[in-house]
Structure 1
């Protein structure tokens, strides 16, 4: 039976870096994939959102258009209802969401506003919630035990990796130089490393928060 899958990203490119191969795999398996974007990012990113949505073949995408770098200044009384409204429209079975301890304050504010919209007595369709890791955000969290990203779910994306990289390249202004986190070589190395954990060429890793079977 097909699933409804929703990727929540704070900025354009989070969904691709963190779960791009996994989303393509869901699509290939016949699942309906959706995208909830909280911020349009910078002016350049706004120009590529439509192209990225088309590449992923999202059944629908939603852009709340909050200001970049300002989510932690916005009341959760404003954020939570808008996120919950999208959840009720999509009725996702599987959620991919930002990591709770990413160094970017927008990511942390997003997490704190997403979780209240996942209570099962109000959103009974949600069966699985997984946090994504995003290069340049997750690994730069302060080195404290409570900030550790503990991957518990690994998805083999070997078949989808090249397509993921082509979508990453659409975010031209966000690609960094060779030795930086969001370089193509770093994305490749990271997914290769995660793949080595489960004996495949490329993988994406997630931290499972909830699974209802």
Structure 2
């Protein structure tokens, strides 16, 4: 039985940073992958049209089965009622019925990430969404590593995915988001992406890896 995957990306590029290599590996294994983007920039913003083109290009490079956008205002998630966000996410989850879901880390410093995690995780209760069998949190460069260095807030992975075959394509896809990637020591740089993947790989015995926190697994 092939898997049906949903990645919840707070902003376009979170899916690539957080689990881009893993998504490509899922695709290579003939799993069905789906992309939920939660936010969008204002249509009057000068970068709006370019961003839509970037999203379309990234969607084709990953070859997603479907792409959904909640069209919430980026950096302004605080202004929405949490029940409103839950309802929007729930509709997408019930439409796709994924058995594996990737969520942002609950302690990411960006408020958008915290709120979307809270809303998304509310949509994983087994008695309402029995088809969800695995729930992961992913780490997103420029957000996860800036959480306070306390046991409660730190990202401590317990699952690793070998992405050696996919690291170059992950970086190729990330480069599509031209305004989101910069030169080292900017967190979202090619050097930083490779460094994190190399570090996670050395932890798990492979050249490059992505790491996750497995929150729940139902067998």
Same fold flag (TM > 0.5): yes
77, 98, 102: which one aligns with 1:96: 102
Residues of 2 paired with 1:112 and 1:159: CA distance? 33
66, 75, 89: which one aligns with 2:72: 66
Q: CA deviation at 1:46?
A: 2.9
What is the TM-score of this pair, normalised by structure 1?
0.98
Q: CA deviation at 1:40?
A: 2.2
The residue aligned with 1:187 is 193
Residues of 2 paired with 1:192 and 1:40: CA distance? 31
Q: CA deviation at 1:114?
A: 0.6
Residues of 2 paired with 1:173 and 1:210: CA distance? 35
Residues of 2 paired with 1:55 and 1:133: CA distance? 21
Residues of 2 paired with 1:188 and 1:5: CA distance? 24
| Structure 1 runs, 4 residues or longer, greater than 2 Å off | 40-47
The residue aligned with 1:154 is 160
The residue aligned with 1:38 is 38
What is the TM-score of this pair, normalised by structure 2?
0.95
Matched, 1:20 2:20: yes
The residue aligned with 2:211 is 205
Partner secondary structure for residue 197 of structure 2: helix
- CA-atom RMSD in angstroms: 1.0
Structure 2, gaps ≥5 residues long: 42-46
159, 178, 184: which one aligns with 2:184: 178
Aligned residues: 213
Deviations 1:33-87 (A, max 9, x none): 0000001246243331111111100000101111000112210111001100001
Structure 1, gaps ≥5 residues long: none
Residues of 2 paired with 1:87 and 1:147: CA distance? 27
Residues of 1 paired with 2:217 and 2:93: CA distance? 17
143, 164, 168: which one aligns with 2:174: 168
The residue aligned with 1:81 is 87
Do the aligned residues in 2 keep the contact of 1:22 with 1:157 (CA within 8 Å)?
Answer: yes
Partner secondary structure for residue 130 of structure 1: strand
Q: CA deviation at 1:177?
A: 1.7
Matched, 1:55 2:69: no
Partner secondary structure for residue 206 of structure 1: strand
Do the aligned residues in 2 keep the contact of 1:8 with 1:35 (CA within 8 Å)?
Answer: yes
75, 100, 110: which one aligns with 2:116: 110
Partner secondary structure for residue 149 of structure 1: coil
